[in-house]
Structure 1
Amino acid sequence: MKRQLILEDGTVFTGQAFGSLEESIGEVVFNTGMTGYQETLSDPSYCGQIVTMTYPLIGNYGINRDDFETINPSIFGFVVKEFCETPSNFRSDESLNEYLKANDIPGIAGIDTRKLTKILRQHGTMKGILTKADVDEQEAAHKLENTEKITNQVERVSTVKPYVAPGRGYRIALVDFGMKHGILRELTKRNCHVTVVPYNYSAENILRLKPDGIMLTNGPGNPKDVPEAINMIKEVVPHIPTFGICLGHQLFALACGADTAKLKFGHRGSNHPVYDYETKRTYLTSQNHGYAVTEDSIEQTNLELTQIALNDKTVEGVKHTEYPAFSVQYHPESSPGPDDTNQLFDRFLNNIKAFKLSQKEEA
């Protein structure tokens, strides 16, 4: 069965339909990872987006039970050059096609993904519609034009009620803006007692949990669409060691007085080089974001720039000069991607240890 991907600039790609047969409208973006399509599909940060994989062969190792980053995927569509209908891997439980059908995610294959990526790199991300091949293009253009921009992605993917992942170590309040399971896995691996709370949990309620540290997770969309989280972070940072990742990094920066802006086509892939001013080392990182903290806005805050992206010099890391709080734009838990920066979770716990020791000394 044929299917079309129509961009808001009028560009039309015709290919083979797979996955769900439902029509879908979303922001068309591209991911440069050669592997990790299962983690990409299940990453809540892709809520509202139609993702194009630049690597041409997708689905070869199927879908397994171990590599999900969330239970319910929120991606709006999947675009590939070629998908494999008969995966070959001892871990595979089902094919990519079966997984997309089961989760009502439409896909399109057999199009020139390199051409599509070049368009997005040149003109920036744009809305697109995945629809049947015989649809009237003017009708599709009208739908795109009249579809309002999604601004509640975080609300869609955040947990509704708090829950606990028990442990005997430090007590961590993890604010779920669209958490990847990899973040929770890294904390529980370190024996932390983690209480996962919704994105709109108040500072008062978080402080009542008496956490030793606060983790601000990744998530989708524009950080300025979550003002309640920004206000919460302002109140808790002076009292508790804080670590922000991806969207959590942007929200942390906004709470400290910095600003954010949308990137032309974002960073989505598994091999983005980041330079660390403190260690004087370069790390390969896994990234997935369309917004970034603006460097100029940091100057008038209590934040210090700690890391930059080597590809485009955008802000990749900041730390607070007064409180034990820091954040990074990339994913130190990887999943997928390199684990070069996994030690940042240990740094977070060391900050907690030092903070608790300083409190004892003051007492």
Structure 2
Amino acid sequence: MTGYQEVLTDPSYRGQIVAMTAPQIGNYGVNNLDDESAAVHVRGFVIEELSPVASSWRSRGTLDEYLKKWEVPGIQGIDTRALTKHLRSRGAMQGCLTTDNITPEEAVARAKAAPPMAGSDFVKEVTPEAPYAWDPEDRESRAWTIVKGDGAATEVTENGEVFEKLPPVKHRIVAYDFGMKRNILRRLRQEGFQVQVVPADTKAADVLAMKPEGVFLSNGPGDPAALTYVHENLRGLMGRTPIFGICLGHQMLGYAFGGKTFKLKFGHRGGNQPVQDVATGKVTITSQNHGFAVDADSLPGEVEVSHINLNDHTVEGLRHKSLPIFSVQYHPEAAPGPNDAGYFFREFAKLIETSQPGR
């Protein structure tokens, strides 16, 4: 019911048609704060019913207006539960969503002719062209809240919105942007990280020259096997700096370790994926969006599987036994939720602190 704007603007959905299973979408409209990037990345949007009313004091427009602005086709009147069951049975499929006056046979032909996800490098379409410092004025990272605390905890803007104040910077890191959501950058800053963002093809030597205290590997779209230039750069960082990877970054660490990935039948999608910590047995509900998984049998002995998916027992987390490197397959920040796994940002800070000489 919520989070459709975050889905539309999540670069991890690049190249995909997305179907929402909640029966009505668009209830609260769209606004400037909920964008997870500077553009809409989905190729098409499928829903059962578009809400005729956008009701929220935060709304700055309707979902229909938003999709038209970005020239992204949307369709309603679809039984999205039946569609989801079909995809779970048959697997993720090629699709065609068009306003052209063509026959169903021509639409099917177009779908079949579309490039497959396997082997596709969509990262090059969403990674930034040049490095940049994230939120140097500490304005974009503030957490939005409806609670007005005392002046030391929150600040109120001119339009009445309330934001939590940020903590002081504790660690300087470099973040590889493979298609990163803004909320990941916001959460990193909220946990005391100052972040320098670099494009996906940045050389390991250039990253190390920045003298970061750690390196973060972001989410992103496409097939991790196609990103051989990233695998190479990550190998150059291993053992030189602490590393924390999520989603696509997790999969590419798998390749840097010497492992491989395989394509899942229909992927892990949505905000209700149960994941178990192998060491503690603790289960968290996570937000995921990926179509590939690391092959546990391909990993070397010095790498252990730290988390597993309780639905299909695929790899959800990795940890190197001797180097300060770990990763998870899901999104710890999970805008707009759940937030069960947010503690991994604090784990990254602890890893940096314990890896520094003299600690």
Q: Contact 1:214 / 1:242 at 8 angstroms: preserved in 2?
A: yes
1:86 offset after TM fit, Å? 1.7
Secondary structure, counterpart of 2:229 in structure 1? helix
Per-residue deviation, 1:302 = 1.8
Identity of aligned pairs, percent?
46
Q: RMSD in angstroms over aligned alpha carbons?
A: 1.4
In terms of fraction of residues, the more strand-rich structure is: 1
Following TM superposition, by how much is the alpha carbon of 1:91 offset from its aligned partner in structure 2, in angstroms? 1.0
Is 1:346 aligned with 2:346?
yes
Instruction: State the 1:130 CA deviation.
Output: 0.6
SS at match of 1:132: coil
SS state at 1:127 partner: coil
Q: Which residue of 2 aligns with 1:247?
A: 248
Which residues in structure 2 correspond to 1:1-363 (within 5 Å)?
34-132=1-99, 134-149=101-116, 151-165=120-134, 166=136, 168-298=169-299, 300-356=300-356, 359-360=357-358
Asked if the contact 1:286/1:336 (under 8 Å) is kept, the reply is no
Taking the aligned partners of 1:45 and 1:302, their CA distance within structure 2 comes to: 29
Q: Is the 8 A contact 2:239 2:323 kept in 1?
A: yes
Aligned structure 1 segments of 4 or more residues deviating by more than 2 angstroms: 137-150, 165-169
Per-residue displacement from partner, 1:133-178 (whole Å, max 9, x unpaired)? 7412232233233333362310001111000124743111100000
- The higher-RCO structure (CA 8 Å, 6+ apart) is 1
Question: Retained in 2: the 8 A contact 1:169–1:191?
Answer: yes
Corresponding position of 1:17: none
Q: Which moved more, 1:55-64 or 1:166-175?
A: 166-175
Q: TM-score, normalised by structure 1?
A: 0.87
Structure 2 counterpart SS, 1:261: strand
What is the rounded CA distance, in whole Å, between the counterparts of 1:201 and 1:308 in structure 2? 31
Give the corresponding residue for 1:23. Answer: none
* Distance in 2 between residues matched to 1:145 and 1:76, nearest whole Å: 16
Q: SS of the counterpart of 2:82?
A: helix
Unaligned runs of 5+ in 1: 1-33
Residue equivalent to 2:146:
none
Q: Please give the per-residue CA displacement for 1:11-41, whole angstroms capped at 9, x wherever unaligned.
A: xxxxxxxxxxxxxxxxxxxxxxx42111111
1:13 corresponds to: none
**For the Cα contact (< 8 Å) 1:258–1:301, is it kept in 2?**
no
Q: Deviations over 1:296-334 (max 9, x none)?
A: 223x34211111111111111110111010000011011
Structure 2, gaps ≥5 residues long = 137-167
130-139 vs 342-351, which moves further: 130-139
> C-alpha distance in 2, partners of 1:269/1:139?
31
Letter in 2 for 1:111: I
How many residue pairs get matched? 325
Which whole-Å CA distance do the structure 1 matches of 2:225 and 2:65 have between them?
36
3-state SS, counterpart of residue 280 of structure 1: coil
Question: Quick one: distance in 1 between partners of 2:28 and 2:113?
Answer: 39
Contact 1:85 1:96 in 2 (8 A): no
Whole-angstrom distance in 1 between the partners of 2:318 and 2:110: 41
Q: Deviations over 1:231-253 (max 9, x none)?
A: 11111021100000000000011
